[in-house]
Amino acid sequence: MATKDLFSSLFFIFLSIYVCYESIDLGLGRLSRPGSGFSPLIVGILLGVLGVIIFLRAWFKKNSAETIPRLTIPWSPLLLVYVCCMAFALSMEILGFNIVTFFFIGILLRAVEKKSWTISVLTALSVTLGAYILFQFLLRSQLPSGLLGFR
């Protein structure tokens, strides 16, 4: 048995029970008009299911003497993603949704994923256009337009 997996999975199972309990108190609403507790309930259920899966895998693990390979964390891409996410959040009101989303996706694809300029620009343009259509027209959300007036 991998005791770390057992304890961490139990933590997430109990956390999911708490999240589900609190989300029911928020009110679930109906499927056609969900309440504020509907999404946290779904997330709590998914968290609990994943916790149970990890618990069962750790419980029924045949060879506990296996050595777990040491994972090396690539810090520079991780730091770049973090900085990009912070810049995305901080510059959204100033530059607007479309410009910030385009640069965010483009920088991540070019710098982290090492894609070509053509792929990065076309994918960033597609994602920005798709997100704009989704949020502006289908969901009718208010998107920040920024100082330049671009939504």
**Contact assessment for residue 95 and residue 147, using Cβ atoms and an 8 Å cutoff:** yes
Query: Mean pLDDT, to the nearest integer, of 24-46?
Result: 84
Q: What is the DSSP letter of 16?
A: H
Domain count for the chain, please give it: 2
> Which domain covers residue 85, as residue numbers?
75-138
Residue 62's pLDDT band (cuts 50, 70, 90): low
Cα–Cα distance, 41 to 39 (Å, whole number): 5
Q: Are residues 134 and 79 in the same domain?
A: yes
Cα–Cα distance, 49 to 53 (Å, whole number): 6
Convert the pLDDT of each residue in 69-97 to its tens digit.
677 878 888 899 999 999 999 998 888 88
- CB-count exposure of residue 36 (10 Å: 0-12, 13-18, 19+): exposed
Residue 68's pLDDT band (cuts 50, 70, 90): low
Rg, C-alpha atoms of the chain: 21
Reduced to 3 states, what is the DSSP secondary structure of residue 142? coil
> Does 86 reside within a domain?
yes
pTM: 0.55
> Does 14 reside within a domain?
yes
Q: Are residues 12 and 54 in the same domain?
A: yes
Written as one letter, the residue type at 115 is K
Name the residue among 4, 101, 116, 5 with its Cα closest to residue 51: 5
